[in-house]
Amino acid sequence: MNIALCCSLLLSILAAQAGFSFKYPSTRTESVEDTYHGVKVKDPYRWLENNESAETKNWIETENKLTFSYLESLPSKQEFKNRLSELWNYDKYGVPTKRGENYFFTKLSGLQNQAVLYVSTSPYGKDARVLLDPNKLSLDGTVALSAYSISDDGKRICYGISNAGSDWTEWKVRDVASAADLSDDLKWIKFSSCEFTKDGKGIYYSRYPEAKNELKEANYYNKVYFHKIGSPQSEDQLILENKDEKEWEFSAELSEDGKYLIVSISRNTNPENLVYYKDLTKASSPIVHLIENWGAQYSFIDNDGPVFYFQTNKDAPRGRIIAIDTRKPEAKDWKETVSEKTEILRSVNAVSDRLVCLYLNDAHAVLHTYTRDGKEAGDIALPGIGSVNAISGRHSDKELFYSFVSFTEPPSVYSCDPASGKSSLIASPKVAFNPADYETKQVFYASKDGTKIPMFIVSKKGLELKTKPLPTFLYAYGGFNIPMMPRFSPSIVSWLEKGGIYAQPSLRGGGEYGEDWHKAGMKEKKQNVFDDFIAAAQWLIDNNYTVKDMLAVNGGSNGGLLIGAVMTQRPDLFSVAIPEVGVLDMLRYHKFTIGHAWMGEYGSSDDANELKYLLDYSPLHNVRSGKKYPATLVITGDHDDRVFPGHSFKFAASLQAVQPGDASPVLIRVETRTGHGAGKPTAKIIEEAADKYAFAWEGTQPKH
């Protein structure tokens, strides 16, 4: 970076802080125009989709220099970073899993970049030893353990490694006793489990064909394979494919008794799937099509011999449990074991002789148990209003483990006897703040069409709420049937400590109230999600929690789309907008990586009817000259192969072209060697959080 450019950037920063315009890096345009069903749409920054070109890389570097210089100049940046480093310095425990005589668990100690996998003879036992330490696999901490599975006897693990935040994982097999890898090396795997056979001599998994541009190329033709331990991947046996359905995704799992391979087939992210199975006790047994009709979701729970138990939303949008006898598989012979409740069934674990069911009640967790024939067997009392992050336990186990978390309490791990429902705390991290100083409340407000929407509000106790407006951070998601529940974040705590308010509404499109709630925010009804969020902001303002000039909004991925949409629809309503790793070009999103799987959620520009509503809200296509947008920090990662970063590049360039960098700058922060979020090292998490919250804090301070 030359001296002239340094001076130019410094002057730009000083000018911005003084309230004057500064010049963004130049971004060229080109005459690209597409015609969609007779509608002409310009795409002047199409060249930024070429992630491998020197020009795009130079653009990223130039934008980052301005962004990071600006962020470093913010008065609260170092304060946030220092405090976040203190708050993040606690032990983070994964829920134990028992196999054979061993317990396996992850633990991230203090400020380690990546969690370490341990094995011991008791949960978090004193004899715990390191089985795999990803921190030793890279100098910058960007190689992560993405997933692992354990053989039935606990003697081997199959583990997936992700590099630089990519969804692509490379799977290896490790001997538990020696902590040494075997020769197995499985590649081109994404969104797949690794399922050991009962004898531990083989693995079932799914994979894609080799990609030429793995960060951009669309992922099609998923297949299920069997891998024999000790053999090369080239010799793996193809178990299942469909050459006529390139978008089908296969997810294979084994029944606990090892007798059945159950394959779930999805064609997009909608909660609906087909179910096939294979009887592994019979040589050359065929693949049996158990459930052949789309329209509902079926999640395998467990089996009693040929009787399979499924969690399903078939004729029950809030969820129920059914039993299917594979000897009489017709729908008329299915038996309901646990009927639909007013609460929302999110997951089921078969532990000992109990079905442990996680339900949502107004977006917080409750645990009910049932006998295998569906009789109520009592509740498992939780410590308060919060979330259950994970449950571990199988039919053959006598205990289960779960993790509980709230907005002000980090994840704690409990051991539970499913028969009595009694829990014992076995791991409780210590964080450098006092949770008793904070409070969480849940309010309900009306959206544009009158629908009642819940929202959590977290703040310090004793603040002058409703009498003195305060800087407020509003975060949401609203999609893919994913519920927004209480969660612990040191970043949120750092915001609260400075006197800010954190608000989290549960928008339609999510999974808080079942499939009907989800469908109310899909496709042509996606505007409901944006209306719900806008109504949340307006409610906070109308009830004197905050004012427009003190309101920051944030969301990631589908939540990044949310922020892009609301800031282009109501730029007057927010002071700061931070769209992260967002789906921002709604006409081309399905052309990259796994984007085609989201067409069931969003629709597609390939359809003339769907094109209209996509154009109506697509953030990229609704940036208008003459509007004053909030101070905007677009965040993405250069290795994001979930939501292609070209979305963020084009959106930031479009905003910069129409908005001068005065008191409301438009910046893009492109993190290197990171992806969509998973596996990001702690050091990068802290640095990014400090930038984000400092940008939000400075942008929500009273204007003089």
DSSP string over 277-310: EEETTSTTPPEEEEE---SS-EEEEEEETTEEEE
pLDDT at 466: 63
Whether 415 and 360 map to the same domain: the answer is yes
Amino acid at 88: W
Count of beta carbons in the 10 Å neighbourhood of residue 239: 18
Between 9 and 286, the more confident residue is 286
Q: Quick check: pTM over 0.85?
A: yes
Confirm whether 603 is domain-assigned: yes
Count of beta carbons in the 10 Å neighbourhood of residue 20: 14
Q: Is the pLDDT of residue 15 over 60?
A: no
User: For the domain that residue 490 is a member of, what is the CATH number?
Assistant: 3.40.50.1820
Whether 127 and 98 map to the same domain: the answer is yes
CA angle 500, 362, 551 (to 5 degrees): 25
Average pLDDT over residues 49-66: 96
DSSP string over 53-95: SHHHHHHHHHHHHHHHHHHHHSTTHHHHHHHHHHHT-S-EEPP
How far, in Å, CA of 243 to CA of 345, rounded? 35
SS3 string, 430-453, reads CCCCCHHHEEEEEEEEECCCCCEE
Which of 619, 615, 609 minimizes the C-alpha distance to 555?
Answer: 619
464-503 per-position pLDDT tens digit:
766 789 999 999 999 999 999 999 999 999 999 999 999 9
pLDDT at 21: 46
Confirm whether 238 is domain-assigned: no
Q: Which residue has the tokens 């709230």?
A: 406
List CB contacts of 314: < 8 A, sequence separation 6 or more.
295, 296, 297, 298, 320, 322
Confirm whether 455 is domain-assigned: yes
Q: Is the pLDDT of residue 5 over 60?
A: no
Whether 497 and 612 map to the same domain: the answer is yes
Task: Specify which residues 175 forms β-bridges with.
Answer: 156, 180
Whether 397 and 447 map to the same domain: the answer is no
pLDDT band at 1 (very low <50, low <70, confident <90, very high): very low
Whether 639 and 569 map to the same domain: the answer is yes
Strands 422-427, 39-42: pairing kind: unpaired
How far, in Å, CA of 703 to CA of 200, rounded? 65
Count of beta carbons in the 10 Å neighbourhood of residue 537: 22
Amino acid at 30: E
Report whether 159 contacts 170 (CB < 8 A): no
Report whether 381 contacts 421 (CB < 8 A): yes
How far, in Å, CA of 587 to CA of 608, rounded? 11
Please count the residues of the chain: 704
Strands 354-361, 364-371: pairing kind: antiparallel
SS3 29: coil
Q: Is the pLDDT of residue 220 over 80?
A: yes
Which of 235, 169, 180, 177 minimizes the C-alpha distance to 202?
Answer: 235
How far, in Å, CA of 597 to CA of 508, rounded? 20
Q: Is the pLDDT of residue 14 over 90?
A: no
Whether 440 and 407 map to the same domain: the answer is no
Q: Which of 227, 395, 621, 676 is catalytic?
A: 676
Confirm whether 295 is domain-assigned: no
Dihedral angle, C-alpha 674, 675, 681, 687, nearest 10 °: 70
Confirm whether 235 is domain-assigned: no
Whether 495 and 405 map to the same domain: the answer is no
CA distances from 671 to 9, 65, 640 (A): 20, 12, 10
322-342 per-position pLDDT tens digit:
999 999 999 999 999 999 999
Whether 133 and 51 map to the same domain: the answer is no
Q: Is the pLDDT of residue 13 over 90?
A: no
Whether 415 and 455 map to the same domain: the answer is no
546-592 per-position pLDDT tens digit:
999 999 999 999 999 999 999 999 999 999 999 999 999 999 999 99
Which of 431, 455, 483 lies at the terminal end of a domain, its last residue?
Answer: 431
What domain count does the chain have?
3
Containing domain of residue 153, as a range?
93-176+194-198
Q: Is the pLDDT of residue 402 over 90?
A: yes
Report whether 163 contacts 675 (CB < 8 A): no
CA distances from 643 to 208, 294, 639 (A): 18, 26, 10
How far, in Å, CA of 467 to CA of 27, rounded? 45
Confirm whether 311 is domain-assigned: no
557 catalytic, yes or no? Answer: yes
Amino acid at 10: L
Task: Specify which residues 425 forms β-bridges with.
Answer: 414
Confirm whether 332 is domain-assigned: no
Report whether 571 contacts 630 (CB < 8 A): yes
Whether 565 and 680 map to the same domain: the answer is yes
Whether 535 and 409 map to the same domain: the answer is no
Dihedral angle, C-alpha 676, 678, 681, 685, nearest 10 °: 60
How far, in Å, CA of 351 to CA of 354, rounded? 5
676 catalytic, yes or no? Answer: yes
Strands 438-446, 422-427: pairing kind: unpaired
Report whether 704 contacts 134 (CB < 8 A): no
Which of 401, 416, 431 lies at the terminal end of a domain, its last residue?
Answer: 431
198-215 per-position pLDDT tens digit:
999 999 999 999 998 988
Whether 395 and 460 map to the same domain: the answer is no
Q: Is the pLDDT of residue 6 over 80?
A: no
Report whether 85 contacts 684 (CB < 8 A): no
Average pLDDT over residues 243-257: 97
89-138 per-position pLDDT tens digit:
999 999 999 999 999 999 999 999 999 999 999 999 999 999 999 999 99
Which of 364, 379, 375 minimizes the C-alpha distance to 416?
Answer: 379
661-693 per-position pLDDT tens digit:
666 999 999 998 888 888 899 999 999 999 999
Confirm whether 300 is domain-assigned: no
For the chain, helix (H) and strand (E) counts, in that order, are: 11, 39
513-553 per-position pLDDT tens digit:
999 999 999 999 999 999 999 999 999 999 999 999 999 99
Q: Which of 557, 604, 648, 654 is catalytic?
A: 557
Share of the chain above pLDDT 70, in %: 96
Q: What share of the chain is helix, strand, coil (3-state, %, to 5)?
A: 25, 35, 45
348-363 per-position pLDDT tens digit:
999 999 999 999 999 9
Average pLDDT over the chain, rounded to an integer:
94
